[in-house]
Amino acid sequence: MRHSNATLGRRGEQAVAGWYGARGFSVVATNWRCSSGELDLILLDPCGDTVVFCEVKTRTSGRYGSPAEAVTRAKQRRLRALAARFMAESRPPGLVARSIRIDVASVRAGPGGSPVVEVVEGV
């Protein structure tokens, strides 16, 4: 059964949100959009010190390389600009953090079809 790219992306984002949740992070926002683009996941670390902006890349196979390889330097610059815009314009009241971090999460199907999540912190 084939899934649309949107369905595949949502499943990947859910898997990554679960990965972070298992590590004590809380989800601040998902799929935040503005005229400049979209941020997949915005999270707060367990200590409340760091806001993490996570770009999620989901693939059904490794045929075209690692999902994280799709996040080029230009995409990283856009993510940083979007993170700054979120913090300036849309940050929920009371969300104060000492730092921000950009992560990239790769999701692929593992044995039995269960998602395998790999996170690269601080790209």
pLDDT digits (tens, 9 = 90+) for 75-108: 999 999 999 999 999 888 878 888 999 999 999 8
Look at the chain and report how many structural domains it folds into.
1
State whether residue 65 is helix, strand or coil.
coil
Which helix (H) or strand (E) segment holds residue 14: the answer is: helix 5-21
Does residue 1 carry a pLDDT above 50?
A: no
CATH code of 114's domain = 3.40.1350.10
Does residue 2 carry a pLDDT above 90?
A: no
Q: Which domain holds residue 43?
A: 5-120
6-65 pLDDT per residue, tens = 676 788 899 999 999 999 999 999 999 999 999 999 999 999 999 999 999 988 766 767
